[in-house]
Chains A and B, each alone.
Chain A
Amino acid sequence: GENVEQHPSTLSVQEGDSAVIKCTYSDSASNYFPWYKQELGKGPQLIIDIRSNVGEKKDQRIAVTLNKTAKHFSLHITETQPEDSAVYFCAASVYSGTYKYIFGTGTRLKVLA
C-alpha cells in the first residue's frame, strides 16, 4: 500500500543552525506534499506545502524541495529558534476516487538555546 517514510525521528540542533527533515513516498502519482508542525496536545498546523509542478518553495526561514524522480521531498528550516521546537510531519496525497493523505511518522525537533 501507499507509504511515506520520514527521517530522522528526532533531531536536535543548536539555535541558529539549520534543520533538515527528509521524506520518501511510494506512490508515483502523488502530487501534493504538505508539511505540518504539531505542538504538544494540539492539532497539526500546516506550515508549507509543495505541488508536483514545482521543485522548490520558500517561505521566510522555511523551504521545501521536491525530487519527483527519486520520490522524496525535504523540509529545510534555517536560523532555527527555540519556538521551532515541535513535532513535524510530512504527507503525500494519494488519489483513489478522491484525495486522501498519508503521513510520515513524524520528527521531533529540539532547538537548543
Chain B
Amino acid sequence: SQTIHQWPATLVQPVGSPLSLECTVEGTSNPNLYWYRQAAGRGLQLLFYSVGIGQISSEVPQNLSASRPQDRQFILSSKKLLLSDSGFYLCAWSALQATGGIGNTIYFGEGSWLTVV
C-alpha cells in the first residue's frame, strides 16, 4: 500500500531564517506531488505541484520554493521566512496517469505546523 510521510511535524522558526520541509511517498512510482498551505481556520491553498523529477509548477508567487530531487521526494523551502508564512503545510500525492481521463484521488500527509516568530 502507498504511504506518505512529511517532516518535521512541528517547527518554530524566527523571521528571516531558512525553511526546509520534506515529503516522501512510498509504494508508488511517478506520482503527482503537491504542497498545500492551510492558514489558521482557513481552506487549503495549492502552492506547488510536480509531475516529475525537476518539474515544478508554482501556483502562488511568494518567497517559498519547491524541489523534487527524486521521484518520490518533494521539498518545500524558503531562504528567508516571513511572519505570513506561518501555517499548516500539507504534502499530497496522486497517481500520475488518470484513469479514463478523470482526475485521481489525492492523498495527504499528516502535515507540518510552522510558526514563524
Total A-B residue contacts, Cβ distance less than 8 Å: 70
Query: CA–CA, A102 to B59, complex, Å?
Result: 11
Whether B44 contacts A44 by the Cβ 8 Å rule is yes
Chain B positions 21 through 37: 1 when the CB is less than 8 Å from some CB of chain A, otherwise 0: 00000000000101010
Given contacts A98-B51, A99-B94, contact A89 B44 (CB under 8 A): yes
Q: Which residues of A contact B104 (CB under 8 A)?
A: 32, 99
Whether A100 contacts B111 by the Cβ 8 Å rule is no
26 A-B contact pairs sorted by A residue (CB < 8 Å): A30-B103, A31-B102, A31-B103, A34-B105, A42-B110, A42-B111, A43-B109, A44-B90, A44-B108, A46-B107, A52-B102, A89-B43, A89-B44, A91-B106, A98-B49, A99-B32, A99-B98, A101-B34, A101-B106, A103-B43, A103-B44, A103-B45, A103-B46, A105-B43, A106-B42, A106-B44
- Give the total of B residues in contact with A, Cβ under 8 Å: 27
From 50 to 78 in chain B, residues with beta carbon under 8 angstroms from any chain A beta carbon are: 51, 59
Contact of B103 among A36, A95, A97 (CB under 8 A): A95
Query: CA–CA, A103 to B103, complex, Å?
Result: 14
Q: Which residues of B contact A103 (CB under 8 A)?
A: 36, 43-46
